[in-house]
Structure 1
């Protein structure tokens, strides 16, 4: 395989992974609209996906899989990531999908790089650069357009939906910031697998997924299987494989396929109607992320194999 073919394969893998993440949003929305509980979905899918990823890591590199358990510091960091990263991201995102819709939740989630930017500036006590200020203003403008549909003085979504949508961005930022030390010292696949397994077990202690299993017809079963298999396991593996062929920055730009997948699927299958100003606002938010990716980063990426993926 020549360099051009390797680059093309990397692009297809990264775009495919992002699309599967995006489509899993409307698939979960379909389940929620038909009575499936947010907690039940998270508890069952997180445990299943964690076990599958864990087996993948165990077969590929058993030493890397068990390495985090050899250090008390790593165990503490892992448990913090489970609570404030993995579980928080899973619950908040799917709650936002349930009270708003997948497209709005996914677009607002993309404010997380701006939150990270502000956090780094505050933590380091440094003023944001001019380019960073431009991206913050762009993100604010895009968000206002999405939540007001261009009618600046009126919310076009409920305050509850706005709260959970913005909370999704905060949770996504936490998902990226909390495991920095872990990802600098251990396998990203192992950390994600263990966090899903532990988080899934914890959620099942709260609400066992084998009890009160919702009645599902075949369309619901297919949606559930898509969320678990394609929207979690395959999407993450595709992203990891893409990094063998393209740079993390390029893979990050292809994240734009995630909200694209959520919006297109919502419009085609869930009859979602987006106004002109919502589309403009979403495009501005995506452009903000692209601009931030192209600018020199304000903080180093600790592990090129993870980024903020595996979150759903």
Structure 2
């Protein structure tokens, strides 16, 4: 198979960066809705999953025709997709948005990026194999970055609430589960189909608790704009662009470029919502983002070593 030239990779690079920026800004839009429009996080999560799920399932149908329903043929796949939707999708969406409501988009997004460290820990335990040196380095960077982000270097005080820290770490754990659980499904079915059905299942099941038909928040043009952005750009287009970028530049490069997401969240929160983000916050951010790069590159080296 012919490798794409540097010029041919440009669209893939731009799409990966765009998806990261879309995701980052959507977190700030959520913060805007929570703080200024009094929208309930659970309500927003429910409708985000339902609307985005419908759009992605329709997209899957246009691309795969009847194959989009293949996930519903075997009992084992049905159980997997139900677990992914109810436990994986709901958990990762709600913990992230609730973490934003307790702190801010920048802090919540950065804390969620500790998730890959939990993924490494899970596979180390599952395979009964000690992590490699780079993975230990990533753990140190993640812990150091989190320490600076939540304490600004002081062991005596937290700069965010204990509740915000708890939900931020819970969000990272949910991201790890969300990453690991659907692996079997993604080996058989398309990402668009799995994610679309997962979101739709998650949204419908979560609606039994959240009762989304009761309108939440103050609705004006700003509310509609932020809500629409989260659905269209922060979910559907971001997902589509990321998948397209993977086919052009590969998963490793695409994942590394998506590390721009916390920076996009931080910058938009600082300049738009005037969130205070100090030197220690930026250092902590850089350390946590470095863990993503280190883990992604170490994963690539492992693959090369097994060839």
Q: Aligning the two structures, in what range does the TM-score lie when normalised by the shorter sequence?
A: over 0.9
1:231 aligns with 2:234: yes
Q: Which string of whole-angstrom CA distances, capped at 9 and with x for unpartnered residues, describes residues 110-141 of structure 1?
A: 10111111111112222111221111111111
- The match for 1:56 is 59
**CA distance in 1 between partners of 2:210 and 2:160 (Å):** 30
- The match for 2:17 is 15
> Does structure 1 retain, via aligned residues, the 8 Å contact 2:135–2:295?
yes
**CA distance in 1 between partners of 2:172 and 2:47 (Å):** 23
Alpha-carbon distance, 1:43 to partner? 1.1
TM superposition score normalised by structure 2? 0.94
1:163-174 to structure 2, matched below 5 A, reads 163-174=166-177
- The match for 2:258 is 255
> Does structure 1 retain, via aligned residues, the 8 Å contact 2:124–2:131?
yes
- The match for 2:282 is 279
The partner residue of 1:208 within 197, 207, 211 is 211
Alpha-carbon distance, 1:205 to partner? 2.5
The partner residue of 1:68 within 66, 71, 74 is 71
- Mark the CA change 1:31 to 1:139 in structure 2 (over 3 Å): closer, same or farther: same
**CA distance in 1 between partners of 2:207 and 2:156 (Å):** 43
Alpha-carbon distance, 1:152 to partner? 2.9
1:116-265 to structure 2, matched below 5 A, reads 116-265=119-268
**CA distance in 2 between partners of 1:6 and 1:60 (Å):** 24
**CA distance in 1 between partners of 2:116 and 2:207 (Å):** 31
- The match for 1:294 is 297
- The match for 1:5 is 7
1:45 aligns with 2:48: yes
**CA distance in 2 between partners of 1:222 and 1:128 (Å):** 45
**CA distance in 2 between partners of 1:172 and 1:243 (Å):** 19
More helix by share: 2
- The match for 2:99 is 96
**CA distance in 2 between partners of 1:138 and 1:212 (Å):** 42
SS for the counterpart of 2:258 is: helix
- The match for 2:84 is 81
Aligned residue pairs, count: 299
Q: Which string of whole-angstrom CA distances, capped at 9 and with x for unpartnered residues, describes residues 33-81 of structure 1?
A: 1210111111111101110111111011023310111110000111111
> Does structure 2 retain, via aligned residues, the 8 Å contact 1:81–1:179?
yes
> Does structure 2 retain, via aligned residues, the 8 Å contact 1:120–1:299?
no
> Does structure 2 retain, via aligned residues, the 8 Å contact 1:150–1:278?
no
Q: Which string of whole-angstrom CA distances, capped at 9 and with x for unpartnered residues, describes residues 170-197 of structure 1?
A: 0000100111111111111101000111
**CA distance in 2 between partners of 1:220 and 1:246 (Å):** 36
TM superposition score normalised by structure 1? 0.92
> Does structure 2 retain, via aligned residues, the 8 Å contact 1:84–1:178?
no
Q: Which string of whole-angstrom CA distances, capped at 9 and with x for unpartnered residues, describes residues 187-237 of structure 1?
A: 111010001111111122223323234331211211111111110111111
Alpha-carbon distance, 1:299 to partner? 8.4
- The match for 1:308 is none
**CA distance in 2 between partners of 1:254 and 1:298 (Å):** 18
> Does structure 2 retain, via aligned residues, the 8 Å contact 1:114–1:135?
yes
Alpha-carbon distance, 1:298 to partner? 9.1
